[in-house]
Amino acid sequence: MGLALAFESSCDETGVALVENGRRVIAAPLFSQIAMHRPYGGIVPEYASRAHLEKFTPLLSEILTAHNLKPGDLDYVAVTTRPGLIGALLVGYQSARACARFFKAPLIGVHHLEAHLAAVRLSGHETPFPALGLMLSGGNSAIYELKKPGDIRVMGDTLDDAAGEALDKAAQILGLGYPGGPRIEERAEAFALSRGITPGHENNLDSENIFPVILKSLRRDKVEFSFSGIKTALLRAYESAAEKNIDALAFFYQERIVEHITRNLSHALEIAGKKPVIAAGGVLANKRLRRSLEGICRKFGVQLLIPEFRYCTDNAAMVAAAAQLYFENNLKSPYSDVQSGNAFLSA
Ligand code: KG4
């Protein structure tokens, strides 16, 4: 067994969840700050911390009132301790710590990326070990090798922006609003349809793509992401175009990003050998990307696991899913330790 109360506040989602065995979600109220940050075109860290502070109490009350929890009822309290916005993390950590004291339960700290990758457990899959973890969100673009719980090795990270950030900034340039990923996808789909390409069918429009292939000369034995160059290329193309075909720009931009991610995953599979792939983070909502990743995993003959969409973006249930791995294997989480000054800042 493992009844847990979990907290997530690493970025712009305030989440609390009551989860059984790290697999069955009993309740997972979530407050998304997207509307609050929209006027700024991105996340304002100080506003994020304040919103977490205001929202944790009502979300927690919702769970406590509905489930009548008493001290001794919980097996543990789980919380994201890193990486993330420092102020935002601190609010979550203090809330979780107070609950752990009140419920007389141990506190298990979790790495945010480990939580994203453990989210597959919420849809009936086990986290396979060893595995590769592809993490694509508004703040991260990286591939990890997961050896066992608490043993995550970065195979390659981004040199500059994250994939979601590149989509958000592109949407800002094209005047499409925030968050950008879904809007770029919508416009790209409209363009594909206008050219007779139906969802699921590969396009043959590569020769028309005005954007450069990202990190074209990246060696096969390297995993490395970069999105700032293509973002600048988009800005230039947009500013210099007499007639601005937003749908076409969105389509070709998204194509380059999808190609770059897929190529990096292929490199990772060549380097690490065939291992199941867990892909997580908000960018995985993108259907074009999912199809491309499915294709590459099929080619390598490896399993691709993607959490259900509602657990792809930040949420607290995934924090319990990761913490349960420590709980049920009787392991000490290396992310529970926040005593060493800058622990919240270190990945
Ligand atoms: O995991 P997430 O909630 O993490 C952060 O808060 O960082 O992911 C948010 C990111 C945003 O950058 C958003 O534009 C992107 O995920 N996103 C998408 C789609 N839906 C959300 N990117 C591409 N296509 C989508 N359909």
The answer to whether residue 73 is domain-embedded is yes
Ligand 1 pocket, Cβ-based, cut-off 6 angstroms: 11-12, 137-139, 164, 167-168, 179-182, 185, 281-283, 285-286, 313-314
* CATH number of the domain to which 92 belongs: 3.30.420.40
The answer to whether residue 335 is domain-embedded is no
The answer to whether residue 119 is domain-embedded is yes
- Tell me the average confidence (pLDDT) per consecutive run of 10 residues in the chain, 347 residues long: 95 96 97 89 89 96 96 98 93 97 97 93 92 92 92 94 95 93 97 86 83 96 97 96 93 97 98 96 93 97 94 94 96 86 53
The answer to whether residue 208 is domain-embedded is yes
The per-residue pLDDT for 59 is: 98
The answer to whether residue 347 is domain-embedded is no
Q: Helices 246-272 and 180-194: crossing angle, nearest 10°?
A: 110
Both 278 and 321 in one domain: the answer is no
> Per DSSP, what are the bridge partners of residue 280?
135
Minimum-distance ligand 1 atom for the alpha carbon of 180: 14
DSSP β-ladder status, 277-280 and 304-305: parallel
Ligand 1 centroid–CA 162 distance in Å is 10
Picking from 42, 11, 33, 255, the residue whose alpha carbon sits closest to that of residue 116 is 11
SS3 302: coil
The per-residue pLDDT for 340 is: 59
Ligand 1 centroid–CA 102 distance in Å is 35
Question: What's the domain range around 116?
Answer: 3-124+311-328
Atom 16 of ligand 1 has which residue's CA nearest to it? 282
Ligand 1 centroid–CA 67 distance in Å is 32
On whether the CB atoms of residues 135 and 312 are closer than 8 A, the answer is no
Minimum-distance ligand 1 atom for the alpha carbon of 164: 12
- Which residue has tokens 């916005």? 85
Ligand 1 centroid–CA 195 distance in Å is 26
The per-residue pLDDT for 66 is: 97
The answer to whether residue 68 is domain-embedded is yes
Both 161 and 85 in one domain: the answer is no
Ligand 1 centroid–CA 70 distance in Å is 37
The per-residue pLDDT for 184 is: 98
Domain count, the chain: 2
Both 269 and 190 in one domain: the answer is yes
**Is the CA virtual torsion 160, 161, 166, 169 positive or negative?**
negative
Minimum-distance ligand 1 atom for the alpha carbon of 163: 12
Query: The whole model's pTM is what?
Result: 0.89
On whether the CB atoms of residues 343 and 84 are closer than 8 A, the answer is no
The per-residue pLDDT for 75 is: 98
Pocket-testing residue among 312, 313, 314, 319, ligand 1, by greatest number of atoms within 8 A of Cβ: 313
The per-residue pLDDT for 8 is: 98
Ligand 1 centroid–CA 138 distance in Å is 6
The answer to whether residue 67 is domain-embedded is yes
